[in-house]
Structure 1
Amino acid sequence: MLLSLKSLSIAIALLPLVVANIQDIQTRDNTIERRVYFLFSASASIINVPCFELADPVIAINPTDANFGVSAVAPGRFVTSADGTQIFAEARGDPSKPAIVFIHGFGIGAMAFNDIFNDPVWLARAYLVRYDTRGHGRSDKPTNAAAWVSQRLAQDFDAVVQSYSLNKPFVLGWSFGAANVADILSFHPPSYISGIIYDAGLPYLAALPNVGSPAGFAVVPGLNQTTNVTQFQTSYIEFINLCHPALEWNFYLGCLGDGVVQPRIILDLGFTRTQNSTGLLQAGTTGALPLLAIFGGDDKVVLKQGVLDAIAGWQNLTVVTLPDAEHFTWISRPLLFRATVLNWIDQHA
């Protein structure tokens, strides 16, 4: 993956550039990862900053019924969940550092985290893993109810963990994707992961009526209908604008594209499936897992108090509100978001 313009600007800002250092590293799953580093002088020390990490090959996304004929290429891999569903995943960063698995929200796939996965500082300090949850992005999109029971979502996470040989990763769930942690902890003990990061996150499905904003709920009927193309288009654009009103154009189009390739029934299947929050809440009230809850000060999708009410009694809880941040918190306040997450992980790794 070549440098993004944002990463390049970071590099230029840190000039003078000394030298590029290329290394081939054997990863924990015995694949070879090529890393390119820029070495910068800073006072009397040398800073070794990775510009990009490519842990996976660039593979084809083949046209299938599950992907509505999507044909593309992307760095990553397909992992097979327990029921045969193909889940698209990708890893970047330093495998020797703490692993963070990023789980995106509804409608917008793992590409939502592009800015993070292209940031050399993130890559230097963590092993970043992301995947398109079933029904999203490049993963399969089953439309039968049996494919959406809680255990299936947990098994998707398991398949990613096993494929990348992760040991007790941290889990960062953004928006609707945060509810997947409740699925994971319904079938695993708290010791399976190192900690939870809710980024404007829905803790579990039953809390949705108190966590979603009125503006967020207002667009749902348009997203869920199948007869009025104009209404769907208008509602999805409104949904993206609620997440952030001023996204970079190509990223904005990518968010809209993820909605186009998703069968409409996925919304019903995802929102109405049953889930048990007992394991999650016990992990919190017993102090078994630390939790970092991040909120955007200008978030128009998720209500902070509703989230905090849903996890009342959590023993090891850190709450951080990013001033002026929209629902895309890491896009609104990238440096503050990065420092908040990485410093917290350093304390709990």
Structure 2
Amino acid sequence: MLFSLKFLSSALALLPLVVANIGDLPTRDNTIERRLVDPVIAISPTDANFGISAVAPGRFVTSADGTKIFAEARGNPSKPAIVFIHGFGLGAMAFNEIFDDPLWLLQVYMVRYDTRGHGRSDKPNNAAAWVSQRLAEDFDAVVQSYNLNKPFVLGWSIGGPHIADILSFHPPNYISGIIYDAAAPDMTSLFNIGSPAALPLIPSLIQTTNVTQFQAAYIDFINLCHPALEWNFYLGCLGDGVVQPRDVTELVLTRTQNSTNLYQAATSGALPLLAIFGADDKIIMKQAALDAMAGWQRLTVVTLPNAEHFTWISRPVLFRATVLQWITQNA
């Protein structure tokens, strides 16, 4: 009886919190059925004191041409900032494992966004929306929304060339450093570093007439990125590919850019670069990627043993230590 009274007392004490999460649902006979619903807790993204382990809710930021870009930040705003730019077909959800890791959250302020054409962001299908300046302006909108000052930028896979877009319209000191994770440095090098297993998939991924062919190619692509992903994450990767229109996929892969400022920053020593590779990567070829980075004055190369194209999923501890140690040295 004593246990029951204590339990009742505790339940009554929590009643004001529970009531806020009760929903009234009308039934067929016009009676009211009362059900508990999941609580929704909103944390203001403008509150700089929400804590190192809290999650700032995602937001839509508006790029200069009106394109809506979905972005999210997590971690400690007083620490060095890293902007994560995802790869082909996938959205920012690709970095879930990093953004859910308390050890990352303690040591850096992490921002990610769905690049235009991906995930929850708008998907313009006209060529004018895919010139280099538009992608640089998307990055600017994210930086301004989160009040970032000289963030580090991590470009994974085809996310790497976005840094060339950024530096085409900003001086090198706009950012603190570059991290290429299994990445191409620019669009020109993209098709030179793709593996013999990955490149043949492209025609099937951008064609619009054969659904079965597209489905098979995209599944093959995700399996090449990593052969043993957790099921729900695997489905999320496939879902991001499905929501991208095929004409947008073609624009993602065929857009052009001017990489002059990127390589000037590289050869002048203006920016440090950390290049990370997975030893078992089946999407890109390491040596071809390094050839594209030839002449970079402040270059650190790290190869993670037994790592697939999803380097941080294959070797999470080693990947985290590699990135955070390099940022500490260059902050």
Output the TM-score relative to the length of structure 1. Answer: 0.81
**Residue correspondence of structure 1 range 1-349 to structure 2 within 5 A:** 30-31=46-47, 33-35=49-51, 52-56=53-57, 76-349=58-331
Cα separation, 2, equivalents of 1:318 and 1:266: 34
Residue 33 of structure 1: CA displacement? 4.8
Instruction: From the CA coordinates, give the structure whose radius of gyration is larger.
Output: 2
Which 5+ residue runs of structure 1 have no aligned equivalent? 1-25, 36-49, 57-75
Question: Helix, strand or coil: the match of 1:54?
Answer: coil
Question: Match of 2:253, SS?
Answer: helix
Aligned letter for 2:121?
A: S
Q: Is the contact between residue 48 and residue 77 of structure 2 (CA under 8 Å) also seen in structure 1?
A: no
More strand by share: 1
- Cα distance per residue 1:217-253 (max 9 Å; x no partner): 1111111111111111100100000000000000000
CA displacement, residues 186-226 of structure 1 (integer Å, 9 cap, x when unaligned)? 00000000000000011000112211111111111111111
Aligned alpha-carbon RMSD (Å)? 1.3
Match of 1:53, SS state, is coil
Q: State the distance in 1 between where 2:318 and 2:85 align.
A: 20
CA contact (8 A) 1:195 1:291 kept: yes
Runs of 4+ more than 4 Å apart: none
> Distance between the aligned counterparts of 1:132 and 1:85, measured in 2?
12
Q: Is the 8 A contact 1:88 1:132 kept in 2?
A: yes
Distance 1:174 1:162 in 2: 22
- Aligned counterparts of 2:241 and 2:229: Cα–Cα separation in 1: 16
Deviations 1:252-284 (A, max 9, x none): 000000001000011211121120011100101
CA distance in 1, matches of 2:49, 2:184: 35
Q: Bigger CA drift: 329-338 or 299-308?
A: 299-308
The answer (yes or no) to whether the contact 1:33–1:53 under 8 Å persists in 2 is no
- Counterpart Cα distance in 1 of 2:90 and 2:288: 22
Number of residue pairs the alignment of both structures matches = 289
In structure 2, runs of 5+ residues without a counterpart are: 1-42
Instruction: Give 1:30 shift.
Output: 4.3
2:47 is aligned with what amino acid?
Answer: T
